Chains A and B, each alone.
Chain A
Amino acid sequence: MMTVLFLVMIAAYGFGACVALLGGAGLDRARLVAAGAATGAGAGLALGAVVIASGQPFALLIPELLPIAGGLALRLDPLGAFFLIVIGAGAIPAAIYGAGYSKAYEDGHASLRLLGVMFNLFLLAMSLVTLADNVFTFLLMWEGMSLTSYFLVITESSEDSTLRSGNWYAAMTHAGLALLLAAFVLLMNGGTGAFSDLRAGAVTLSPEVRNLIFVLALFGFGSKAGIVPLHVWLPRAHPAAPSHVSALMSGVMIKLGVYGLLRVALDLLGGGPTWWGALVLGLGAVSALFGVLYALMEHDLKRLLAYHSVENIGIIFIGLGAGLIFHSSGLMTLAVLGFIGGLYHTINHASFKGLLFLGAGSVLHATGTRNMEEMGGLIKRMPWTALFFLIGSAAISALPPLNGFASEWLVFQSLLGGLALPMPEIALAIPIAVGMLALTSGLAAACFVKAFGISFLALPRSREAEHAHESPLSMRVGMAILALACVALGLAPFAVVPMLGGVLAGLGGLPDTRPVFTLDLSVQAPAGFAQISPAWIGVGLFVLLALVPLVMRLARANRKLRVGDTWGCGRIGQTARMEYTATSFAEPLRRVFAELYRPAKELTIDFHPESKYFVQSIEYKSEIMPLFERVLYDPLLRLVRRVSRQVRRVQAGSVHLYLMYIAVILILLLVAARWF
């Protein structure tokens, strides 16, 4: 059964890639590619579900394949299975959506062939990352995932900015890979590299080496996950990629950074001292807050969403950090609660961020712009997209009864448990984290009022927005699946939480907490700490929404409705130029957090030559200081440039010089061979 599903997954992705590569002109290539990808993702999802339901891992070892590094070893345990489910849940809608979305590329401004091949290979590589059971397989698939996604980012390679974004992405992901290589070499300690050996060998390593491995893995996987300050590639690469790829990268791929961190820190190393968790928690809190603060100032819809991925990865890391802290103190039930909060938010973020990116893609598809200041009024022109985007916005703002609330509640509850910690310095830092998390969620709500309100409501601000059209059926189906997932995951924590308890059981000595968290329709934090039931709240809200109009009707309230002009203070004829813009919406927060943004404003007013009371034109420019780019990356880039200039002297472009290098090296090698 499992083997069949596994083979179907491989075959379907392979089919999708082959069709894209070889398919002739007569075939509907976009649809077949999507069918391959969706089938593969579905099989992967089923495989993950079977592994979690049965608790039996699926294993496959092919030692003949590259025997030098231990061969291709695959094993799917419940933790990997959970992430395989996340991949499947994100990939099925993205693939269906992609069938409609990539039609736009048929005019030839991007290669559909490359897109189709890479899309399937990307999904395959991601799926195999969760299955990898030795260092070689893991790193091979990890790099495969990075390379294929790089090609997906530069799909629209005719634009310079896309290529630059691709460069940022390639540089950051390979810096991360370098750290991971170092971490795994240390972890292998000269052994075979099978994960079971690593697990056994990790206990014998000295604490210093273990700490080093942890820090290397944290920043290596962190660069993929997009934690601050390694997040700089997200707001560049996500907007550049085609929208269904953005949805996958943001919703799914960055989560594999979370997977890697859990695998190494919790499973292979078996947990560590308290400061590990504190570091993860601190990085998470900082990422969450900085992510949302930069998102607020962003008016490019897809860049805004990319910054929100930084925020949500931060929330996930807060959960994991709390889990690691409790784990080191032996408070196992609380540790599980923290990890469950992180993992729950992982799948929730995959669903609502995937949905939002697909929604943004529909808007881009319809209007040709990502700039919110040129949108508006889309709710009337694209009613379905607007509804789905609204659901995603409410979910990411953690509004009950949708899924963002359920997982943030769990993260909050695990932090509240922090006062059980014996170390006062950690316990007293936890309220700060609670405050930061709360501020983050409040700002996220403000940001999505902006994102939805400015893009979809009121009057259209440009001709393109005025003539926007609803997306084709395949794109709407893709979004509908994810919107349903947001609702279902929000109502059903009573099912998800025990499942996650099962996923975590046994990792790093965590107990099986399914009995603790199993309750009918409600979810309870341990030791009777608190209890909620989003399902009943959802039902209650629904009933009340139906009841209020009914009672109004029974009470004979006036039911007449007249449509009139908006009140314009006596002025007749409202235009879109009178509307609040995204910039003005964010202005109060820009001033409140001016210390961070350091906004620079430039105002040029062109007066009429006759009188200063008549203005001919006004030009307003305003930008904020990108803190991390300025402080961290600019000096680094300058250094790289300076070094490259020196290196360039060696590489002068003269064949004679190169021949001389070869001769000198040859002689040196011969001398060396003679001596040693």
Chain B
Amino acid sequence: MTGYVFEMVQGVLALLLAPGLAGFVRWVKARLQNRRGAPPWQPYFELRKLFGKEVIVSSNASWLFRFAPYVIFASAIAVTLLVPLIAAPLPFDGMGDLLMVVYLLLLGTFFLALAGLDVGTAFGGMGASREMTVAAIAEPTIALAIFGLALGAGSTNLGRIVTQTLANPAVAVSPGRLLAFAALFIVTLAETGRLPVDNPATHLELTMIHEAMILEYSGRYLALIEWGAWLKLTIFFTLLANLFVPWGVATTFDPAALALAVASLIVKLAVLGVIIAVVETRVAKLRLFRVPELLGVSFVLALLAVTSSFLLK
């Protein structure tokens, strides 16, 4: 019973943290660019505004367009129940492993791309096509990074990876882990639609991917999709933070340990947020057809990660 309660608490925590994280990245980016920027809590106001507005649906759209936001949001929440945000192993750890996490997120992407095609505009199709291209090419890197993590831990289940690394800290600084971290970091940029792959702050038709797909969404549907995207960012950051640097994650459901875990999670997310903001300020957007090269680099890194962990085993 405590397990279920705990899972609910963790889900709510993720839901509450996600907009703040997105706002924080925006805010740091603005400061780095010498702008004042909106406060980090701006996304919470955006959500309230969007949930209060009526929805306008295109007359071309079918039921799928109205169903997709729920799938995107629900699959993102389901993933937050599997990812060790503050404690490991989670009560639901045996229900899904890293592969399940990746494919649940792909489920959301799949429906988002279909929704982009559903309204019948050139923008929607363009976004869907680009999104699926990037997602497909990122997939091998993700699989190999998982492989690299699983090698050290002997399992693809997230709880096991965290506890194994905690028990054996030397693994965390092994070359395999570091390479896998680099690979997964590049993939995080691609999967969450950050620069240099996609620019979350623009609606320029030549470059946009994610924004092109959701152009026709409004009101509560847009709120769900945006929130889902922020959750996805939080999930990828948590994976980077807690799988590679698991210290701080509670291994018992002791209140003090949990409080420490929440604090350490916020610190880790903030550090990653600053890193992303710096990267986004420093690099220019890549042409779409240069993205496969970037992902190719990440694939090679992941392959090296697996090879080196195998050779050093």
Contacts and interface: CB of A to CB of B under 8 A. Distances in A.
B305 to A, nearest CB: 9
A616 interface: no
Contact of A532 (B71, B97, B126, B220): B97
A530 B151 CA distance: 12
B94 interface: yes
Contact of B147 (A416, A443, A532, A588): A416
A584 interface: yes
Given A458-B120, A567-B216, A592-B137, A398 B103 contact: yes
B266 interface: no
Nearest to A530: B156
Nearest to B55: A561
Q: Report whether over half of chain B's contact residues are helix, strand or loop; otherwise say mixed.
A: helix
A409 interface: yes
Contacts of B303: 431-432, 435
Interface in A547-594: 548-549, 552, 555, 557-568, 574, 576, 578-581, 584-589, 591-592
A379 B62 contact: yes
Interface string B94-128: 11110110011011011001100111111011101
B113 A453 contact: yes
B133 A399 contact: no
A564 B128 contact: no
B136 interface: yes
A438 B139 contact: yes
A405 to B, nearest CB: 6
B120 A566 contact: yes
A443 B132 CA distance: 8
Contacts of B157: 530-531
A452 B216 CA distance: 19
A439 B140 contact: yes
A322 to B, nearest CB: 14
B168 to A, nearest CB: 16
A580 B62 contact: no
Interface in B122-181: 122, 124-126, 128-130, 132-133, 135-140, 142-144, 147, 150-151, 154-157, 160
A584 B121 CA distance: 13
A146 interface: no
Contacts of B53: 558
The number of chain A residues touching the other chain, given as a range, is 35 or more
Interface in B235-261: none
A600 interface: no
With most chain B CB atoms within 10 A of its CB, the pick from A533, A561, A589 is A561
Contacts of A452: 114
B125 A541 contact: no
A5 interface: no
Contacts of B223: 557
Contacts of A400: 96, 100, 103-104, 107
A441 B215 CA distance: 27
B220 A589 contact: no
B73 to A, nearest CB: 6
B306 interface: yes
A435 B51 contact: no
B30 interface: no
A453 B120 contact: no
A470 to B, nearest CB: 14
Contacts of B207: none
B144 A439 contact: no
A174 interface: no
Given A454-B117, A566-B121, A579-B122, A445 B106 contact: yes
B37 interface: no
A530 B155 contact: yes
B56 interface: yes
Nearest to A376: B120
Contacts, number: 256
A558 B55 CA distance: 8
B94 A531 contact: yes
With most chain B CB atoms within 10 A of its CB, the pick from A436, A552, A576 is A552
B211 to A, nearest CB: 13
A453 B128 contact: yes
A345 to B, nearest CB: 15
B202 interface: no
A528 B140 CA distance: 24
Contacts of A334: none
Contacts of B140: 434-436, 438-439, 442
B289 A532 contact: no
Contact of B150 (A409, A416, A443, A584): A416
A588 B130 contact: yes
B120 A441 contact: no
B58 to A, nearest CB: 4
Contacts of B215: 567
Given A449-B132, A548-B74, A557-B51, A574 B114 contact: no
A532 B118 contact: no
Nearest to A446: B132
A399 B58 contact: no
A579 B125 contact: yes
Contact of B71 (A376, A545, A568): A545
Nearest to B134: A588
B51 A580 contact: no
A568 B155 CA distance: 50
Interface stretch (B38-46, B75-83, B278-286): B75-83
Given A399-B110, A529-B155, A591-B289, 19 more contacts: A397-B110, A409-B99, A413-B156, A419-B313, A436-B140, A439-B140, A442-B135, A453-B114, A529-B150, A530-B150, A530-B156, A531-B97, A533-B94, A557-B223, A567-B215, A576-B120, A578-B121, A580-B124, A585-B117
Interface of B: 51-60, 62-64, 70-71, 73-75, 77-78, 81, 92, 94-97, 99-100, 103-104, 106-107, 109-110, 113-114, 117-122, 124-126, 128-130, 132-133, 135-140, 142-144, 147, 150-151, 154-157, 160, 215-216, 219-220, 223-224, 288-289, 292, 299, 302-303, 306-307, 310-311, 313
Interface of A: 376-377, 379-380, 390, 394, 397-400, 405, 409, 412-413, 416, 419, 424, 427-428, 431-432, 434-439, 441-443, 445-446, 448-450, 452-454, 457-459, 522, 528-533, 536-537, 540-541, 544-545, 548-549, 552, 555, 557-568, 574, 576, 578-581, 584-589, 591-592
29 contacts: A390-B64, A398-B103, A416-B147, A431-B144, A434-B147, A435-B302, A435-B303, A438-B139, A438-B144, A439-B136, A442-B139, A453-B114, A453-B118, A453-B125, A529-B150, A532-B95, A533-B96, A545-B71, A548-B70, A564-B57, A566-B120, A566-B121, A567-B216, A568-B121, A580-B122, A580-B124, A580-B128, A588-B130, A588-B288
